[in-house]
Amino acid sequence: MQTPVEVDGDGNPWSCSRDWTWLADDGGRTSSVASRVVDRDKLTCQGQPYREKPIPLVMALVKSMQAECPRQPPFNCSCTLDNVVWDTSRLYLVPIITVDCSGLGLTELPGVLPSNTTSLLVKENQISDLRPLVNNEHYRHVADIFLDDNLVESVAVLESSPWLFNFRVFSLRGNRLSQLPTYALDNALERNRHVVDIFLGNNPWQCDCLFTPSFQDFLVKYFTLVKDNDNVRCAFVDGDENSFVPIRDLSRSSICAPPSEYIIQPLDLLNGVLASLIILVVGKLGYDYWNFKKTGKLPSFLDPVDSLRITSERYHECASDRRVPHYEARPGSSGGISNYPPALRQTIARKIKRSSFTYILYPLL
């Protein structure tokens, strides 16, 4: 029969930096070593970071963290219980956990994190996809994320995500960002009461008249949050005087200056040709109309068309012959012209008097 051991915790400086996980809750097993310590609930940690916190409760959190930590390949991360605090009711302890996956050559964020993970360090990896921050529940309560020196090219996927409205620290230094959805980030920061720090330096920021003015306004508005304003600089562009210049120091005239010389593009040439043709056609139409009003003569290209299309035109109704197209029969024909061959009809029919607009619009009918 195992004899219970009483450990007097009063006045003993128990260091919780040691491995006391065997004192964690044994699940009711009376054969465990922890069950033999009859006054284990009186044992408290001395010194930081768990000062005066019950050792069994602290060690239970350590065991849970170790079980959920992504320590296995391919992630090989390390997890640390930085601190524990009482909840508002002082009924249980809330862990503050840091997961460190820096410098491991990762190409994606870990799929699983310990419960109540507060900080995630994934510096110096090859991560480009931020979708886990949007659709992975393990990241919903991660307050601090350090993604320095990765391959992130865009954060547009974070627009309207719950995480963006609740984060505390977001570090994106040394990535491949060239633009930000400033309107979405501004909207999130207006509603985020927890944000403390943002780091955006050492990225190849695009400096042009489309993006930079709004980005400048963003940096000015949140200069107390963007801690590395001096390192938020324009990307290097050969021949661009704004290369490596801090964006907040740029003048609008240097960003939106007109080009020194205009290069004619093929589309510009095509537009010029089309405009010239339109002017030519309208001018020719106006001239033909003026000439007709003055001389009564039609343009040469209309006369043969008018005479040759007599047999194919739609029939024109008239008093003497209802089948002669656009022509009136002579009075002596008595309407019999409709039975004559086309060649004969052309010799005995006379043209209807047409207005000038009829000839101008004739090709379109």
φ, ψ for residue 258 (rounded to 5)? Answer: -70, 150
Dump pLDDT digits (tens) for 210-242. 999 999 999 999 999 999 999 999 999 988 889
Domain termination residue (choose one: 20, 38, 68): 68
Same domain for 341 and 201: no
Same domain for 91 and 162: yes
Q: Is residue 261 part of a domain?
A: no
Same domain for 180 and 109: yes
Q: Residue 109 and residue 87: Cα distance in Å, rounded? A: 29
More confident residue, 131 or 343: 131
Dump pLDDT digits (tens) for 91-112. 889 999 999 999 999 999 999 9
Same domain for 306 and 243: no
Q: Which of 21-25, 26-30, 204-208, 299-303 has the highest mean pLDDT?
A: 204-208
Whole-number pLDDT of residue 256: 84
Whole-number pLDDT of residue 355: 53
Q: Residue 175 and residue 265: Cα distance in Å, rounded? A: 35
Same domain for 249 and 278: no
Dump pLDDT digits (tens) for 350-361. 444 455 555 454
Same domain for 54 and 201: no
Q: Which of 5-19, 290-304, 348-362 has the highest mean pLDDT?
A: 290-304
Whole-number pLDDT of residue 219: 95
Q: Measuring CA to CA, which residue among 201, 162, 157, 156 is closest to residue 182?
A: 156
Percent of the chain with pLDDT over 70: 67
Q: At what angle do helices 182-191 and 212-221 cross, to 10 degrees?
A: 20
Kindly list the distances between the CA atom of residue 53 and the CA atoms of 56, 57, 94, 143, in Å, as whole numbers in the listed order: 9, 8, 11, 24
Same domain for 19 and 134: no
Same domain for 47 and 20: yes
- Which has the minimum average pLDDT: 23-37, 46-60, 198-212, 215-229? 23-37
Query: What is the 8-class DSSP label of residue 170?
Result: E
Domain that includes residue 20, residue range: 1-68
Same domain for 205 and 113: yes
Which domain CATH number covers 161? Answer: 3.80.10.10
